[in-house]
Amino acid sequence: MLSTVVLDTNIYIRYGADQAAAYYMSAVVIQELTAGAPDSATIRRLGEFRRQYEAEGRLLVPTGEDWWHAGKILNAMHRGLKSHRAGRVSAIPKEEQQRILRDVLIARTAKRANVAIVTEDVSDFFRIQRYCDVRILRPEDYFPT
């Protein structure tokens, strides 16, 4: 049985990808890991992961609709608009939008696939969660100790 989570990039960096086969994979996470890969062998391995997840239907790829909603979420966050979940929130600076964009795309694809996100970056994802109803888990709440 497949687990109903997708792991954020920071989880792969901290804990490794040994258990990766048990989870969903975000195309955004693959992009981030590939951009930071230390060598060609790692890039090849990530390409194999991507192909495997895609073939198994477990690669979460942002659609046009996800990009549209990401823009709306980022706009609402920048303007400090009222959210359905938390009322009015503090606005984020314009330059913050680009930093948080990939996390918003991970959240949108996770929501669409009805999977939770395991991340150490809970503060950004909790801010996103105000506008995108997605489940967020800390690693210590998900992985057995």
What CATH number does the domain containing 84 carry? 3.40.50.1010
User: Which residues of the chain form beta strands (DSSP E)?
Assistant: 5-7, 25-26, 59-60, 116-118, 136-137
The domain in which residue 88 lies consists of: 5-142
Question: Would you place residue 145 in the very low, low, confident or very high pLDDT band (cuts 50, 70, 90)?
Answer: low
Question: Would you place residue 82 in the very low, low, confident or very high pLDDT band (cuts 50, 70, 90)?
Answer: confident
Mean pLDDT of the region 96-104: 93
pLDDT for the residue 2: 45
Examine the pLDDT at 131 and tell me if it is beyond 70. Answer: yes
Residue (of 51, 69, 50) closest to 111 by Cα position: 69
pLDDT for the residue 80: 86
Cα separation, 101 vs 67, whole angstroms: 10
Mean pLDDT of the region 51-72: 95
As a whole number of Å, the end-to-end CA separation of the chain is: 21
More confident residue, 80 or 32: 32
Residue 58 and residue 50 in contact, taking contact as beta carbons nearer than 8 Å: no
Mean pLDDT of the region 121-126: 92
Examine the pLDDT at 86 and tell me if it is beyond 70. Answer: no
pLDDT for the residue 21: 59
When divided into structural domains, the chain yields a total of 1
Examine the pLDDT at 20 and tell me if it is beyond 90. Answer: no
* Structure-token pair, residue 145: 């100790």
